[in-house]
Structure 1
Amino acid sequence: MAEPPRDVFRLRRDWLSVQEVVDSVSSSRCGAVSVFIGRTFIILLLFLRAGRATREDQVEGRKVIGLQYEAYEAMVQSELSRLAGALRARWPSLLHVCIHHRLGWVKVGEASIVMAISSPHRQDCQEAIQHAVTQLKANAPIWKKEVYDSQESSWKENSECSWSQRGGASD
């Protein structure tokens, strides 16, 4: 009997387990599992401004210490289901799709999203995982707020976000 495709989507307020996500897509029918781990990070690019090197992780003397994620959870679940359907339509060989995303406080260095997709061959799931990340960032109603060491904060948009490209809210 053929194993039916399985989708697992979780919005969690605690630590994300990469092994749990990988286990949820593993199958004896699949020779490939592609994984994406998105971490909360600070961009540490150095650039020159007025002849001095500055760090992009410093915003007006404030350092980012973490992100606060919020979501419209029912809509996120609906969007993830739609995304899984679109992935399977484009790459019919995909078997299982699992996406776990953090909500609430996420310190710099911790995973904010873990995603895995399985298929019989690597090319389909590698392409699908890249597409899934881009689509999730563009369409899922998940918002993030940068929190600084000064305890000030600022809402941030994903550049892929479809509503920001139509002139929505800005940073």
Structure 2
Amino acid sequence: MAEPNVHARLAAEALMPDRELASFMARLSGAGAVVSFVGIARGRDKEGEIVRGLFLDHYPGMTEHSLETIAAAALDRFDIDDALVVHRCGAVAPGEPIVIAAAASAHRRAAFEAADYLMDRLKTEAMFWKREDGVDGSRWIEPTEADRADLARWSDPCPE
């Protein structure tokens, strides 16, 4: 079960980032800053080839739990009051929003850091199987080394 200030869900329908953000902000009280990020499905893969669509497969229950866990971790780690994660599943066309992540806090720095953290964790740890469908077929994709390096920024230093 999600914490009261953690708003995380999986969306099979098209995302409307403006509505998601407006709903998130309507629940806030006392926040002085909200930082949000909207990820959009790209029309080209990392080699520059055309992508006709993306398919995000998920495991019911497990995927939602992973989204809630990531959002709750941001709430625990940063001085934020609320966290939002809404992630698409199923077929997503190029140009469509695939994820919205937001953080609300009294001050901007914590909100910026939390939103960045949310996306780094979502990109590498959210429980999805992602398939790119291109002109020449389909392929399953994994987080890149750059994605893993982004995530590593948040690792606590090892005690000496």
The answer to whether TM tops 0.5 is yes
Other-structure match for 1:23: 22
SS at match of 1:87: helix
**Letter of the aligned partner of 1:57 in structure 2?**
G
User: Could you tell me which residue of structure 2 aligns to residue 157 of structure 1?
Assistant: 142
Match status 1:75 vs 2:66: no
Match for residue 111 of structure 2 among 100, 125, 128 = 125
The 3 A distance-change label for structure 1 pair 108 and 146 is: same
Using the size of structure 2 for normalisation, the TM-score is 0.79
- Structure with a larger share of its residues in strand: 1
Residues 24 and 94 of structure 1, relative CA distance in 2, 3 Å threshold: farther
Contact 1:75–1:140 (CA<8 Å) still a contact in 2? no
Task: Return structure 1 stretches of 4+ with deviation > 6 angstroms.
Answer: none
The number of residue pairs the alignment matches comes to 142
| Aligned-residue CA RMSD (Å) | 2.1
Opposite residue 143 of structure 2, the aligned amino acid is N
Distance apart, 1:57 and its partner CA? 2.2
Partner residue of 1:89?
A: 76
SS class of match (1:114): strand
Question: Residues of 2 paired with 1:97 and 1:24: CA distance?
Answer: 12
d(CA) in 2 for partners of 1:34 and 1:69?
A: 25
What is the alpha-carbon distance in structure 1 between the residues aligned to residue 134 and residue 44 of structure 2?
14
Q: Please, which runs of 5 or more residues in structure 2 have no aligned partner?
A: 149-160
Q: Give aligned-pair identity as a percent.
A: 30
CA pair 44-76 structure 1, distance change in 2 beyond 3 A: closer
More helix by share: 2
Q: Could you tell me whether the CA contact under 8 Å between 1:25 and 1:118 is conserved in 2?
A: no
Rg larger for: 1
Question: Unpaired segments of 5 or more residues in structure 1?
Answer: 46-55, 162-171
Conservation of the 8 A alpha-carbon contact between 2:84 and 2:102: yes
Q: TM-score, normalised by structure 1?
A: 0.74
